[in-house]
Amino acid sequence: MSVIGTGYLGATHAACLAELGFEVVGVDHDHRKVARLNEGAAPFAEPGLDDLLARHVGTGRLRFTTEVADAAMSADVHFLCVGTPQSALGRSADLGAVFAAARDLARHLTRDCVVVGKSTVPVGTAERVARELERFAPPGVETVLAWNPEFLREGHAVLDTLHPDRLVLGVDTPDAELVLRGVYADAIARGVPVHVTDLATAELAKVAANAFLATKISFINAMADISDRSGADVVALADILGDDSRIGRRFLDAGVGFGGGCLPKDLRALSARAEELGAAQVSGLLREVDEINLRARSKVVDLALELCGGDLGARRVAVLGAAFKPLSDDVRDSPALDVALQVHRRGAEVRVFDPEAALNARSVAPELTYVASLEHALRGADLVLHLTEWPEFLETDPRWAAGLVARPVIIDGRNKLDLDGWTRAGWTIQAIGRPR
């Protein structure tokens, strides 16, 4: 089998296929990435992935190359795992890499094969990919396209891939279904639900799931706003809503909102696609979800201003967290980094501490100061912003922290700190959607 594109999705998928016993070749045009992967090391932090890569590169079951021709010749199932970032000019997904990968693979094919799309794409893309494969494959070579989205979370990528909640097999031939059932035989034997569907539904399932999760978070952030204006407590509210088994408590944590490489871009891409399809109201709903999410960030900046008497100029602000979520070094569309930058632009002297993401954060936001310890960030601070709920922040002794800062004032942008404990230790603590 081959896996084309070795980003988050592709590298994990390739390693997990090898773990399932398949011979796998991973393809990427980035030489440095390929060299690193061939040494058995992931180009990003993900629990358990280095172990799998090292093990299976070691046994020879897994290898990586920059040559798509190599993959085209040695495999008869090809997984397309290239990235679909937000396009530079708007909210839609940039599909350039998907079509380029499909064309490139097709040109080099020497035998019939199944191509399985795993990239996150706007509904309707598979149809166009199938046409490209047909157009560029050599005469006599047949390609069958299937769509098989992936629902892995960063930080749990290996576990989610090997133990998925469900499998979605978008197919339009029995042969393609058979091939995919063979790939996932282990999970199917364990009873993981399998949804066999058409390609369009499979494509839409992925973005709809992410848009739903995004909507759930923005909904609770909207309720946080109402709570702030009415004296209600959004955390108690989320617990009450969450006990309704139809709603569920997960993804009901109000705060600075969602970020990362998936939820924001998939939401925007679905909104753009809805507009293209003439569903203006749907597009508007999703746009509102995005705006509520961005507003959650600026609310924390407004609160910071308020707690500093309306002026952040020359104030020293400690920012706890840069990653878009804890246990990750990913800073793509990170709410924490966005808030840190907004506060910096208003004249504050910002010191950011993140246990793992500082290197990545520095490359996208070099204007901020990154420090090597929590203590260093807190020392002399006029205001503390807790923006990514790393375990070590939640375990911090508020009395110790109070002894380091100039003013014991903190905004809990994740609603995860113990309000009473911090108040007892002398702090003015402001959470999101919770009574002061």
Biggest distance spanned by C-alpha atoms of the chain: 77
Any binding-site annotation on 259? yes
**DSSP for 341-381?**
HHHHHTT-EEEEE-TTTHHHHHHH-TTSEE-SSHHHHHTT-
Residue whose CB is less far from ligand UGA, 26 or 259: 259
Residue whose CB is less far from ligand UGA, 114 or 217: 217
Residue whose CB is less far from ligand UGA, 133 or 214: 214
- For the bound state, the minimum distance from the C-beta of residue 190 to ligand UGA, rounded and expressed in Å, comes to 20
Query: What are the residues binding ligand UGA (CB under 6 A)?
Result: 120, 151-154, 210, 213, 217, 251-253, 255, 257-260, 262-263, 324-325
- For the bound state, the minimum distance from the C-beta of residue 298 to ligand UGA, rounded and expressed in Å, comes to 15
Residue whose CB is less far from ligand UGA, 324 or 422: 324
CB 79, CB 1: distance < 8 Å: yes
When computed from its CA atoms, the radius of gyration of the chain, rounded to whole angstroms, is 24
**DSSP for 9-37?**
HHHHHHHHHHHTT--EEEE-S-HHHHHHH
Any binding-site annotation on 251? yes
| Active site annotation includes 81 | no
Measured between alpha carbons, how far is residue 228 from residues 31, 222, 237 in Å? Answer: 51, 10, 12
Residue whose CB is less far from ligand UGA, 52 or 256: 256
Any binding-site annotation on 118? no
Distance CA 423, CA 419 (A): 6
Residue whose CB is less far from ligand UGA, 136 or 219: 219
- For the bound state, the minimum distance from the C-beta of residue 21 to ligand UGA, rounded and expressed in Å, comes to 24
Q: Looking up tokens 């992925």, which residue turns up? A: 206
Cα 354 to its chain centre, rounded Å, is: 18
Q: Looking up tokens 């058995």, which residue turns up? A: 40
Q: Which helix (H) or strand (E) holds 116?
A: strand 113-117
- For the bound state, the minimum distance from the C-beta of residue 354 to ligand UGA, rounded and expressed in Å, comes to 13
Any binding-site annotation on 253? yes
Any binding-site annotation on 84? yes
Residue whose CB is less far from ligand UGA, 119 or 396: 119
CA proximity to 332, closest of 47, 98, 7, 36: 7
- For the bound state, the minimum distance from the C-beta of residue 81 to ligand UGA, rounded and expressed in Å, comes to 11
Any binding-site annotation on 332? yes
- For the bound state, the minimum distance from the C-beta of residue 195 to ligand UGA, rounded and expressed in Å, comes to 15
Measured between alpha carbons, how far is residue 92 from residues 84, 86, 206, 257 in Å? Answer: 10, 6, 15, 21
Q: Which residues contact 185 (CB under 8 A, 6 or more apart)?
A: none
Residue whose CB is less far from ligand UGA, 132 or 253: 253
Query: Which residue out of 16, 81, 113, 262 is catalytically annotated?
Result: 262
Phi-psi region of 314 (alpha: psi -120 to 50; beta: other; left: phi over 0): left
Distance CA 79, CA 170 (A): 13
Any binding-site annotation on 151? yes
- For the bound state, the minimum distance from the C-beta of residue 331 to ligand UGA, rounded and expressed in Å, comes to 11
Q: In what order do the strands lie in the sheet with 428-431?
A: 369-370, 349-353, 316-320, 383-386, 409-412, 428-431
Per-residue tokens: 48: 């358990």
CB 110, CB 72: distance < 8 Å: yes
Tell me if residue 225 falls in helix, strand or coil: helix
Any binding-site annotation on 52? no
Any binding-site annotation on 315? no
- For the bound state, the minimum distance from the C-beta of residue 131 to ligand UGA, rounded and expressed in Å, comes to 26
**DSSP for 132-196?**
HHHHHSPTT--EEEEE----PPTTSHHHHHHS-S-EEEE-SSHHHHHHHHHHTHHHHHTT--EEE
Any binding-site annotation on 28? yes
The set of catalytic residues is 262
Annotated binding-site members for NAD(+): 28, 33, 84, 120, 154, 265, 332
Annotated binding-site members for substrate: 151-154, 206, 251-255, 259, 325
